[in-house]
């Protein structure tokens, strides 16, 4: 950790900083430049709060030298981690496309959706039984019975299921229903009690990025899960909040190379929630794979115009199949398996 002192700092104040560092059991190194005095802390900075020094009026800024994340950091594990979901690998050389409807509606809709997902060549299926909705008056998901409908439909095609957990009290029910991948939604990325609980099980977790979370905060949320014992974490970028109003969220495609550099864990993209319109999904999907994403989470509905939720962002089965052809081509160009 490096402490930059204000231009007019007195010798006495420099000593205050040195003493505080010593009281924490660490050593300091003072460098008096012409224009600024800089103090370096020698020791494990993860045990030190920046605020403990920023509180002094003669301190201009405090800079961490270390990354705050550990288990999820590529510094701690150089090779790509491949996560096993019922025998299907996520991460590494392979690209996986997870398809399915926004929400579980009826057994018939789910049967058709599963058939479409499998026919398109996807190997995992998504669908929400519990839906986070901005309005309390909007459809909130069909609930627990949706988990059953989902499993019945998906098992027929050997598709592991991916579904969102919103309420920490529902975790046991998810485990009982053998959910294969637990999705933590954008609004819960910093619901720390929920993160701690999914950290105590071994079910793989898709951790969506918060709507305005920095990449560093996102990695720290994954660290919450990892520090509690569950290292099966898949990052999912789904668009962030911006000033632009021509679409719903701004897909942060740059996050893909950055996250691949910072962590050994896989990262996938949700192009459907990012743009918010079905016609944008092919372009965003191709961009994500080309940029190096390990997979996609795409909304597909057997009949989008009848969907109970987010009707305007789902592809139909034919559109998904056509897109898969392009994605496979791009994957091969950059040396990935598909």
Pick out residues in 55-74 that bind a second copy (CB under 8 A).
55-57, 63, 65-66, 68
Site stretch for a second copy (CB under 8 A), options 93-101, 105-113, 152-160, 300-308: 300-308
Region at 107 (left for phi over 0; alpha for psi -120 to 50; beta for the rest): alpha
Within 216-235, the residues that bind a second copy by CB under 8 A are 216-217, 220, 223-224, 227-228
Closer of 85 and 298 to a second copy (Cβ):
298
Closer to a second copy by Cβ: residue 154 or 184:
184
Cβ partners under 8 Å of residue 323, min gap 6: 281, 282, 285, 286, 298, 315
**Which residue in the set 98, 300, 309, 324 belongs to the binding site for a second copy (CB under 8 A)?**
309
Please choose, out of 34-42, 109-117, 154-162, 230-238, the segment that lies near a second copy by the rule CB under 8 A.
34-42
Q: Count of CB atoms within 10 A of residue 184's CB? A: 24
Binding mask 119-138 for a second copy (x = CB under 8 A): -------------xxxxxxx
Burial of 105 (0-12, 13-18, 19+ CB in 10 A): buried
Q: HSE (CB half, 13 Å, CA atoms) of 158?
A: 6
Q: Of the two residues 67 and 157, which places its CB atom closer to a second copy in the complex?
A: 67
Residues within window 146-165 making contact with a second copy, judged by CB under 8 A: none
- Give the distance, in angstroms, between the CA of residue 189 and the centroid of all CA atoms in the same chain: 8
Nearest CB to a second copy, comparing residues 155 and 286? 286
User: Which of 115, 144, 258, 321 contacts a second copy by CB under 8 A?
Assistant: 258
Count of residues in contact with a second copy, rule CB under 8 A: 104
CA-wise closest residue to 157 among 129, 127, 185: 127
Shortest distance (Å) from residue 188 CB to a second copy = 7
Would you count residue 23 as binding a second copy (CB under 8 A)? no
Q: Which residue has the tokens 């994957």?
A: 331
Toward a second copy, which CB reaches closer, 154 or 307?
307
Q: Among all chains, which residue has been given the structure tokens 């969220």?
A: 249
Residue 193 contacts a second copy per CB under 8 A: yes
Taking residue 93's Cβ as centre, other Cβ atoms within 10 Å add up to 13
For residue 30, give the 3-state DSSP assignment. strand
Judged by CB under 8 A, which of 10, 19, 22, 54 binds a second copy?
A: 54
Q: List the one residue from 254, 318, 322, 337 that touches a second copy (CB under 8 A).
A: 254
Nearer to a second copy, 133 or 156 (CB): 133
56 versus 121: smaller Cβ distance to a second copy = 56
Whether 168 and 197 have beta carbons less than 8 Å apart is answered as: yes
Tokens of residue 181, six digits: 């991948």
CA dihedral 149, 147, 128, 270 (to 10 degrees): -100
**Binding-site member from 17, 251, 267, 323 for a second copy (CB under 8 A):** 251
Q: Given its phi and psi angles, is residue 157 left (phi above 0), alpha (psi -120 to 50 degrees) or beta?
A: alpha
Site string (264-283) toward a second copy, x via CB under 8 A? ----------xx-xxxx--x
Nearer to a second copy, 42 or 152 (CB): 42
Is 169 near a second copy (CB under 8 A)?
A: yes
Q: How far is CA 195 from CA 179, 220, 249, in A?
A: 17, 11, 24
Among the listed residues 24, 112, 290, 321, the single contact to a second copy using CB under 8 A: 290
Q: Is 209 helix (H, G, I), strand (E, B) or coil?
A: coil
Give the integer Cα–Cα distance in Å for 197 and 78.
Answer: 27
């Amino acid at each position: 950790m490096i402490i930059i002192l204000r231009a007019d700092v007195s010798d006495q104040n420099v000593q205050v900083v040195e003493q505080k560092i010593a009281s924490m059991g660490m050593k300091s190194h003072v460098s008096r430049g012409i224009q600024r005095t800089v103090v370096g802390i020698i020791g494990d900075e993860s045990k030190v709060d920046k605020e403990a020094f920023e509180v002094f009026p003669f301190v201009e800024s405090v800079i961490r030298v270390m990354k705050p994340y550990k288990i999820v950091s590529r510094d701690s594990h150089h090779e790509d981690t491949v996560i096993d979901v019922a025998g299907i690998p996520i991460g590494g050389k392979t690209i996986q496309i997870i398809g399915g409807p926004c929400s579980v509606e009826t057994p018939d809709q789910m049967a058709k959706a599963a058939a479409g997902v499998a026919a398109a060549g996807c190997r995992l299926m998504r669908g929400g039984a519990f839906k986070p909705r901005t309005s309390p008056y909007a459809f909130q998901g069909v609930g627990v019975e949706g988990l059953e409908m989902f499993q019945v439909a998906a098992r027929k095609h050997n598709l592991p299921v991916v579904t969102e957990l919103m309420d920490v009290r529902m975790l046991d029910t998810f485990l009982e229903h053998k959910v294969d991948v637990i999705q933590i939604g954008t609004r819960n990325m910093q619901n720390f009690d929920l993160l701690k609980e999914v950290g105590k099980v071994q079910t793989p977790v898709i951790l969506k990025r918060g709507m305005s979370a920095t990449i560093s905060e996102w990695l720290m949320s994954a660290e919450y899960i990892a520090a509690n014992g569950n290292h099966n974490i898949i990052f999912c970028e789904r668009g962030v909040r911006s000033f632009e109003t021509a679409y719903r969220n701004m897909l942060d495609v740059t996050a893909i190379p950055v996250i691949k550099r910072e962590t050994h864990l896989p990262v996938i993209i949700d192009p459907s929630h990012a743009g918010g319109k079905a016609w944008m999904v092919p372009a965003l999907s191709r961009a994500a794979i080309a940029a190096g994403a390990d997979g996609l989470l795409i909304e597909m509905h057997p009949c989008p115009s009848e969907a109970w939720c987010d009707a305007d962002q789902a592809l139909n089965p034919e559109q998904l199949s056509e897109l898969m052809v392009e994605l496979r081509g791009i994957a091969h160009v950059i040396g990935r398996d598909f």
